[in-house]
């Protein structure tokens, strides 16, 4: 996972608007925050996204 994706995940998390496991809402917020890379990443690499949320690493 590259630095951009990590930054975008943290940007969405910092809004505190949703549970980070609610992937549909995370993607909607990411789209609103102009984070299209994160939306695509979640669609393609869901397991890696969840792993990062749970463990904070790659």
Q: Is the pLDDT of residue 17 over 70?
A: yes
* pTM, rounded to two decimals: 0.92
Q: Is the pLDDT of residue 8 over 80?
A: yes
Q: Is the pLDDT of residue 57 over 90?
A: no
- pLDDT score, position 58: 61
pLDDT in tens, 20-53: 999 999 999 999 999 999 999 999 999 999 999 9
What SS3 class is residue 36? helix
The dihedral sign for the CA sequence 26, 42, 39, 10: positive
């Amino acid at each position: 996972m590259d630095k951009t994706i990590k930054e975008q995940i943290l940007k969405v998390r910092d809004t505190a608007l949703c549970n980070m496991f609610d992937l549909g809402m995370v993607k909607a917020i990411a789209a609103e925050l102009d984070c299209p890379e994160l939306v695509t990443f979640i669609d393609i690499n869901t397991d890696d996204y969840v792993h990062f949320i749970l463990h904070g690493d790659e």
